[in-house]
């Protein structure tokens, strides 16, 4: 648990980066405005966490789930953020799944050592990279 109220604030660098991304180029934000937004964001996170925790406790769980957060957002009347939040959660899950698959491939490769399977792994990676690049194939002139 936090010992001081300042320990509950979000990092200023993170708040500043988010603000810069949200505002058009050339817009300056005063130090007081940054501090006010930082504190407002921190209070929002604490409130959302508290609401989500209440839903977890009602379900006799100690671990907050994404569903608890979604329900809390609804309870706090932030329904308009549910769809973007759900999309971000799906993208996160997809990224985590990809990381796990890549890690498993690496472990399998280390376990099997270097053999003919390496060639097929490289070919699969090349195909995967081509798919990410829009399916374009390398062409030599």
The answer to whether 102 touches 129, Cβ cutoff 8 Å, is no
Question: Helix or strand or coil: residue 5?
Answer: helix
Locate the domains of the chain by residue range: 1-77, 81-135
* pLDDT tens, the chain, 141 aa long: 566 766 778 888 898 899 999 999 999 999 999 989 988 998 899 999 999 999 999 999 999 999 999 999 999 999 999 999 999 999 999 999 888 888 888 888 888 875 444 555 555 555 555 554 444 444 443
pTM of the model: 0.62
Which residue in 49, 48, 56, 40 sits closest to 76, CA to CA? Answer: 48
Q: Please state which of the four CATH numbers 3.20.20.10, 1.10.20.10, 3.40.190.80, 3.10.20.30 is assigned to the domain occupying 1-77.
A: 1.10.20.10
Q: How many residues does the chain have?
A: 141
DSSP reduced 3-state for 113? coil
**Rounded Cα–Cα distance for residues 60 and 58 (Å):** 5
């Amino acid at each position: 648990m936090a010992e001081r109220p300042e320990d509950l604030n979000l990092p200023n660098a993170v708040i500043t980066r988010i603000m810069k991304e949200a505002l058009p180029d050339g817009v300056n934000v005063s130090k007081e405005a940054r501090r006010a937004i930082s504190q407002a964001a921190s209070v929002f996170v604490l409130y959302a966490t508290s609401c989500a925790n209440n839903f977890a406790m009602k379900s006799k769980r100690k671990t907050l789930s994404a569903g608890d957060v979604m329900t809390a957002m609804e309870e706090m009347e932030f329904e308009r953020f549910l769809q973007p939040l759900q999309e971000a959660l799906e993208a996160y899950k997809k990224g985590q799944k990809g990381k796990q698959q890549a890690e498993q491939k690496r472990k399998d490769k280390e376990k099997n050592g270097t053999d003919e399977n390496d060639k097929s792994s490289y070919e699969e990676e090349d195909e995967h990279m081509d798919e990410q690049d829009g399916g374009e194939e390398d062409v030599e002139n």
